[in-house]
Amino acid sequence: MKKLTLALFFIFAAHAQAKNELPTKVVGLKTPESVVQAKDGGIYVSEINEFGKDGDGQITKIDKNGKISIFARGLDDPKGMVMMNHQLFVTDKTKVLAIDMDGTVHVYVDAKAFPKTPQFLNDIEADSFNNLYVSDSGDLKSGGAIYKIDENKTVSTVVDSTNPAVLAPNGLCYEGRKRLLEVDFESGILYRINLMTGTMAEVASGFGGGDGLVRTKTGKIYISDWKNGIINQVSASRAKLVNSGLTSSADMTLSQNGQYLLVPLMKPGELEFISIESAIK
């Protein structure tokens, strides 16, 4: 605990601190991949730590007062996260975990529950009907899939690589009306998937190593590009650059107040807070 306090700290912008707002940066994280902010303001960050090493992954929590603690430990390579019904759901290699709000970790579905053994579970999203959606990025170039996990923990295939548009699905975002947005890490194409039929329609392209996918209340869509360290906005059917100079910008989220993109920078081990207003140039 002492070590963690020393290793991790906030960097506040003077004006942000005065207004008791979010910090601008958290440093000292261990290969952070994904972040979510709960309704109570608590921020959870998944940390892979060493890639491919089991047991060293963890979830760090930053509470609304800026207090940092390890929320759950003993994970393998945790990645995407989503809150649903007061539990935090996390993808971890070939399984999905459910973590109670006291940090107790349960296996929600294991590798055997999937129609085909997953290779690289990545993002996870919830709809308003207690269903979860998870992307399998395959070998990060091809062979991926997207699965649905219903409230009875039955796993079914939404799309798989029999569809040539499916290479390495990564970021997911439920749009409502049984439609799921998905960005592919290999092709950099944003798709809208009809969850009733499994059909995929191209929305926009040019997102490089598309990773985090965020949709604001007013319908603006932002996508982080892990390979190029940039953030784009969807503008018509193209990628429009809104932020650059990042490194391995991974699965970002929108702050609860809608004013910041919270962006994990995987290799530098940082969580960057980017004001939406400053992101729009």
Min dist CB 152 to Ca ion, Å, is 26
Smallest gap from Cβ 212 to Ca ion, in A, equals 7
Q: Could you give the count of Cα atoms lying within 13 Å of 157 in the half-sphere of its Cβ?
A: 13
Which residue, 123 or 127, is less far from Ca ion as judged by CB?
A: 123
Position of tokens 């940066």? 25
Which residue, among 228, 211, 193, has the nearest Cα to 46 in the 3D structure?
Answer: 211
In whole angstroms, the minimum distance from the beta carbon of 86 to Ca ion comes to: 23
CB nearer to Ca ion: give 36 or 48: 48
Per-residue tokens: 183: 């960005």
Contact 61, 38 (CB under 8 A): no
**Which residue number places its CB atom closest to Ca ion?**
251
Q: Residues interacting with Ca ion, by CB under 5 A?
A: 48-50, 53, 56-57, 77, 122-123, 170, 211, 251
Whole-number minimum distance, CB 259 to Ca ion, in Å? 23
Closer CB to Ca ion, residue 53 or residue 267?
53
Q: How far is the CB of 51 from Ca ion (least distance, A)?
A: 6
Closer CB to Ca ion, residue 53 or residue 67? 53
Between 50 and 139, name the residue whose CB sits nearer to Ca ion. Answer: 50
